[in-house]
Amino acid sequence: MLDKMKALVNWYEEVLSMPHRREVASELRDEDDLFLLLLYSEMIGIPNPAYYYTLELYPYMMEKFHDWHLRMGMEKSPLTGFRCC
């Protein structure tokens, strides 16, 4: 009985928080997208003096970078040479 009550409370909390979690996650993603744009703006023709250094981060964020360029409407990686896809 107690387990069932607990499950019910969990279900209720899950229902209430689900849409809000999504909204907060999408705001966070928007901010991350902006950050990636700041890092790799050179690739789309915006001069970026720190590019030489930010490129060093690239191998560590390959997966994130791949998702980012897909979201930005680029089917293939804009980076020539070494690339994620």
Binding site for another protein (CB under 8 A): 9, 11-20, 22-27, 29, 67
Residue placing its CB nearer to another protein in the complex, 66 or 83: 66
Residues 6+ positions from 47 with CB-CB distance below 8 Å: 41
Residue placing its CB nearer to another protein in the complex, 11 or 53: 11
Residue placing its CB nearer to another protein in the complex, 29 or 53: 29
Q: How far is CA 32 from CA 38, 58, 65, in A?
A: 10, 15, 10
As measured in angstroms, the least distance from the Cβ of 45 to another protein is 21
Nearest-angstrom CA–CA distance, 31 and 6: 36
Position of tokens 């490129």? Answer: 55
As measured in angstroms, the least distance from the Cβ of 15 to another protein is 3
